[in-house]
């Protein structure tokens, strides 16, 4: 089958057609920017039948809007034209549809889906390996721990010999913790929102009255990330790796 109008598949497996290419094939005299809105008045819905596609035009280097049409919409638009070119386009789309639904193409699509799943599984294995290498430092990866406890974890699991005070210095230098003032050593809000730290309020009992304080805790997610960074950064420093 000769390709009169190019087709492609979207992420959902639908056959789609460029509105601009269809307009050009149909030899419509009305400019595309006026013609296409008229076509949508036949009951087509954006997001269901077509989607906008903004690209940089190769000639004038300007942003240009195309519309990607599902095959059913392209067929109907071709029929609406009531011209020989419209009839030719519709017949072509029917052939495309027939080929798409042939047993050979169904098998091919099934194999492509399977290949995609295999690739996703391979990527997941690589991602899991990252957690095996660094993270499952924490079988307790759901639990949050204080700085002192994290120092012990990374020494026991990875041999990173960095003391509690040095780790505080490192976290401040890297911008994870606030450096000075009343909130010194508290995690910055952005890292709390990223799920790396949490700030747990505690009550300190004093003779002059109870005072609320805060304890910086590293979440399971934060432990995984920080262990990875520390291993990468200090792997060649004998003073920090036991």
pLDDT over threshold 90, residue 113: no
Confidence of residue 242 (pLDDT cuts 50, 70, 90): very low
pLDDT at site 137: 46
pLDDT at site 104: 76
The whole-angstrom separation of Cα 91 and Cα 97 is: 10
Q: What is the pLDDT of residues 14-35, one digit of tens each?
A: 899 999 999 999 999 999 999 9
Q: What radius of gyration do the chain's Cα atoms show?
A: 30
Mean pLDDT lowest among 133-142, 167-176, 230-239: 133-142
Task: Name, in order, each residue with C-beta under 8 angstroms of 127's C-beta and a sequence gap of 6 or more.
Answer: none
Q: What is the mean pLDDT of residues 69-82?
A: 94
Strand order in 197-204's β-sheet? 145-146, 211-218, 197-204
């Amino acid at each position: 089958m000769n390709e009169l109008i190019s087709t492609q598949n979207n992420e959902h497996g639908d056959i789609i057609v460029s509105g601009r290419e269809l307009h050009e094939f149909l030899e419509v005299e009305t400019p595309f920017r006026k013609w296409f809105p008229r076509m949508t008045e036949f009951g087509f819905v954006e997001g269901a039948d077509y989607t906008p596609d903004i690209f940089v035009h190769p000639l004038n280097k300007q942003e240009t809007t195309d519309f990607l049409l599902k095959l059913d919409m392209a067929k109907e638009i071709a029929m609406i034209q009531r011209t020989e070119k419209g009839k030719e386009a519709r017949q072509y789309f029917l052939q495309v549809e027939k080929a798409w639904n042939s047993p050979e193409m169904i098998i091919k699509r099934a194999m492509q889906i399977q290949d995609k799943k295999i690739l996703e599984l391979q990527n997941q294995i690589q991602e899991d390996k990252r957690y095996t290498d660094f993270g499952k430092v924490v079988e307790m990866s759901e639990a949050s721990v204080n700085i002192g406890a994290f120092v012990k974890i990374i020494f026991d699991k990875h041999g990173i010999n960095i003391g509690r005070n040095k780790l505080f210095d490192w976290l401040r230098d890297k911008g994870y913790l606030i450096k000075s003032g009343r909130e010194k050593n508290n995690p910055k809000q952005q890292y709390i929102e990223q799920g790396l730290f949490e700030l747990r309020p505690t009550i300190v009992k004093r003779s002059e009255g109870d005072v609320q304080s805060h304890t910086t805790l590293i979440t399971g997610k934060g432990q995984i990330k920080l262990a990875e960074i520390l291993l990468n950064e200090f792997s060649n420093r004998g003073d920090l790796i036991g």
